[in-house]
Amino acid sequence: MQKFEQFLQDNLPQSQSIHPHYEQALHTMLNAGGKRFRPALLLGVVEAYNPLLVESAYHAAYAIELLHTYSLIHDDLPAMDDSPLRRGNPTLHVVYDEVTAILVGDALNTYAFEVLSDAPFSDETKVKLVKELAHNGGLHGMVLGQAIDCHFENKPLALEDIKTLHTNKTAKLIAASLKMGAIIVGREDVAEKLYDFGIKLGLLFQIQDDILDVTQSSEEAGKLTNNDEDKNNFVTILGLDKALREANALADELTQEMGSFDESLQRELSPILTKYINRHK
């Protein structure tokens, strides 16, 4: 991931402007680090099936990271979670102001598709990637999940509805990362299997985040913790013990499914997935 990180730094969004801090604000959350989990999944799939395409795939991996980062900036806004901390740093609306945070989020969202349009792939492949990212990151996925999350704050949902919420808000972008890797290498035969696996992985990721929210300090998590009491998450609905059991069962299921991957895919994804599948333990 070191080479991907350098690609990211070399392609930070630039703006020729008289604005005193707009460009710096564009860079702040991207430079704050983060897990780079979604780019790692995409690049792992590409590395498994066609290592020669990895450098070209940096464009798609970066596009996902840009879209994800925009979503975090907007998620932290006063109108949503009103969080002062993200990736171990003050959030943009705290450092600058709410208008700057909104506009930077908007800019990173659209820049994701500009970066993807510059990828050295055929037009057909780029259209498929654009559609996948837009579908799962937009009104059919992440944005829908955020809308449900905000609307039903302080209104407890049934467990299946919470799974629907977080399938959209969290899981679909993780699933899209795996599927986009398969699209890049022309492995349509495994694309849907990886997408379905990614939905389960995304749900586990969310359950783990909910668990860590009540078991870690803000310093450990890099974001404000114990701030979701009014939200529909797995711990508030199930309680910590049941949420842990749900996470363990899903982790076991994913580990078993991982064993059915072909050897090259297991080799590339296992180090990433094993770390995250067990991070709540």
Q: Give the model's pLDDT for residue 280.
A: 84
% of residues, the chain, pLDDT over 70: 98
Decide: 93 and 198 in contact? Cβ < 8 Å.
Answer: no
Decide: 211 and 244 in contact? Cβ < 8 Å.
Answer: yes
Q: Give the model's pLDDT for residue 231.
A: 83
Burial degree of 71 (CB within 10 A; 0-12, 13-18, 19+): buried
Measuring CA to CA, how many Å separate 1 from each of 62, 129, 159, 272? 12, 21, 36, 11
Q: Give the model's pLDDT for residue 220.
A: 67
Q: Find out if CATH 3.40.50.300 is the number for domain 2-277.
A: no
Delimit the domains of the chain by residue range.
2-277
Closest-CA residue to 40 (of 177, 164, 222, 212) = 177
Residue 227 has pLDDT above 70, yes or no: no
- Output the six-digit token pair for 48: 């498994």
Closest-CA residue to 198 (of 262, 119, 277) = 277
Q: What is the pLDDT of residues 258-272, one digit of tens each?
A: 999 999 999 999 999
| End-to-end Cα, the chain, rounded Å | 25
How does the average pLDDT of the chain come out, rounded? Answer: 95
Q: What is the pLDDT of residues 173-213, one digit of tens each?
A: 999 999 999 999 999 999 999 999 999 999 999 999 999 99
Q: What is the pLDDT of residues 46-82, one digit of tens each?
A: 999 999 999 999 999 999 999 999 999 999 999 999 9
